[in-house]
Structure 1
Amino acid sequence: MMHAVALGALRGQMQCGRGPYKVCDNHDEFVFWDLFHPTEHTYRIIASEFWSGKSTQIRLVNLKFLATLHKRP
């Protein structure tokens, strides 16, 4: 692809933010609201895991631990 920046990886065949699409009223019950974009609910789950997730999920430490490092002796 010669101009991927100008057209994107899909060569302009599909465009974000252009119709036809309909946002459902119960978007908090879904992971994605279209083929590519996670819902706000999904982002909250991801952010929560990054912030305070267990070490089995977030390696080596979570963001909450890193944020408190400057307070530790």
Structure 2
Amino acid sequence: MECNIKNWTLMKWIRLVLGAALLIEGLRAHDVWIGVMGGFLLVMTLANVGCCSMGACSTPRRNTSGKRNENIDYEELK
């Protein structure tokens, strides 16, 4: 839960505001589909799931320790 509260990005704030606005508009207009979309965005934001959440789309970091693996064994295939 602590990870979910800290480090909110701009995209997460946009999803939260858009989800809340759609949910409120769906309730106000008695439109089920708009309410479902707003609820879906809110759940995605608060549960920290969805596209590119939790670093799923990120690439691995480079080895910054400066050490290189010099002992690489190669086998020739014929």
Measured against the shorter chain, the TM-score band is under 0.3
Give the number of the structure whose residues are more often helix, by fraction. 2
- Give the TM-score normalised by the residue count of structure 1: 0.27
* TM-score when normalising by structure 2: 0.26
* Larger RCO (CA under 8 A, 6+ residues apart): 2
